[in-house]
Structure 1
Amino acid sequence: MKDAVESLIEKFDLEFTPEQRDFLRFLYENLHLEELSDKEQSFFIDYFYKSETLRNMAAFALELADIMREICELIPAIEKAERLTNGKEQRLYNERKWQIARRQKLSRQTIKKGNILYVPFEEYKEETGPIIICLEQTTGMAAYSELCKSIILPLFMNAHREQRDLYIVPYDCQIHVHYRFENGHLNLSDFKGFIEYKAKGEAAILPVLHFVKGLLQENQHCTEADIIIFTEGTPIDGQHLVGKQAKALLEEMKRKYHAEFSVIAMHEHNFNEQQFWFANKAFFADDAIQ
């Protein structure tokens, strides 16, 4: 019995090697291509057929899939152990803060007409925040661009499964463009823009952090937001991350918007632990690069 990918390949009458079929199957599963219209699926498959970059990304992602699955399984176990060891007080504090925020929101949206209170209880439910990916796109990162983008591909599945918005923010010294994928659903125009985006120059980290704060303000009632920073590890303004203004900015994002930061650095020896003090987790791509 033919699977969906084989049926699509036959439908659009294109020649693919067995390896390319595996790459396309990986993308089909992670990007939920079945949700696209026939016209959109045709566009995507034709783009995959013509885009060496997208095929290389799929190859990287497929190769890294087992490693990433292990990480996804291992990290929650480590975090749970840490919470059981010393995190009870912090967890209770965060839960109290969220309860207060929800009660305030409910109070603001409750309307009294006569002797009747109209209470929008649906607004009281917890809302999971966005996944925001800050992707350094500079001269120094050019060699790692496809690798980084391949790591991002499975995050579409996570966002889709958890019904979370996925933002991708390429950056150098400033922000030129950003892409939003609502609830992890594929937008072909933005996806193509993300695949093909390139920049030159050096990276500054503070502009992208301010930009991220603006995105969080649009999602200010969320219970949590995940911010993932891809970096070569040496932003030109990295020393400012330990300054008072940057610390206040980052601590506000953690406190007010329940933000958790992860950093994916290309080389461990470039990573400055003091500058990235705010990261909850740090991963190093050295092994993957080799």
Structure 2
Amino acid sequence: MKKIIIVANPTAGHHSQSRIARFTRHLAQAGLPASVAHTHYPGHATILARDAAESGLYSHIVAAGGDGTIAEVSAGMVGTSAILGILPLGSANVLAHELRIPFNEIRNAALIRAGHFTTIWPGYLHTQAGPQLFVQMASIGFDAHIVHTTSTRLKARIGRAAYAVSTLSSLLRYGLTEFTVLIDTVPHRATTVIVSKGSLYAGKYALTRHSAHKDKKFSVILFETSGKLALMKTVLSLFLGRIGRQKGVRTLTAATVQVPSPAAIPIQSDGDRKGFSPACLDISPSPLRVAVTPAG
């Protein structure tokens, strides 16, 4: 019999505890006993997932939370035979939208029961804090500054709208810094770089035409804009789904991305603050199995 463990972030989303309870109940009705382990501090989800994966007792380890929780759980089980389940509870839930994970607890439990999965290749962000796995995207520059300055209390109150508030504030206050980005060792200049495995941004907004989740490569979006007005137009084009046609924005593919700048440029990955440059990003040497609805 399959055994399930749910690694839950108790601070993620409104009504998260009632949704986890319903999800657990539906799993039990499907003949899948599930236990719940709550996280208590940053990085705890990785420890819980690693212990569960190494025990060999669980077919699925479910991340109940937002993209940051999913990344932490993934870091503990990447390269193992355990399958990552996702119960989306965060403010953006980008990976869930990307992989078309059901938000409905009944459909999500049925997905776990069916046992279907896809294999994806996450990325690693290397900074002075050490290597950190990410599953959807990382960024350096203006986009990361928004994450750094978004109030966690406000995000808990109004969800994704908190990022809109922070974006407006950042457009006025952030000082653009041009830096060198080495894309597969080839130098480029930019004021912001987004390194993405998926095709979506901040929920359902289109960032690229194609997802790179199943490939050992990244999509790299370079913002070459240097003025506040140009940056404002670029940000607007992103939320209007026109980023690919915006002047001053280039999209490339790469297996490695380096930002050697010592100028303390902000970094984020999967919606969490990750310090400042310098940084290097590369593909995980091991894949990750993720429970998904089969295509077709």
Q: Which has the higher strand share?
A: 2
* TM-score of Structure 1 vs Structure 2, range by shorter chain: under 0.3
- Structure ranking higher on relative contact order (CA contacts 8 Å, 6+ apart): 2
Q: Greater CA radius of gyration, 1 or 2?
A: 1
Which has a greater percent of helix?
1
**What TM-score, normalized by structure 1, do the two folds share?**
0.23
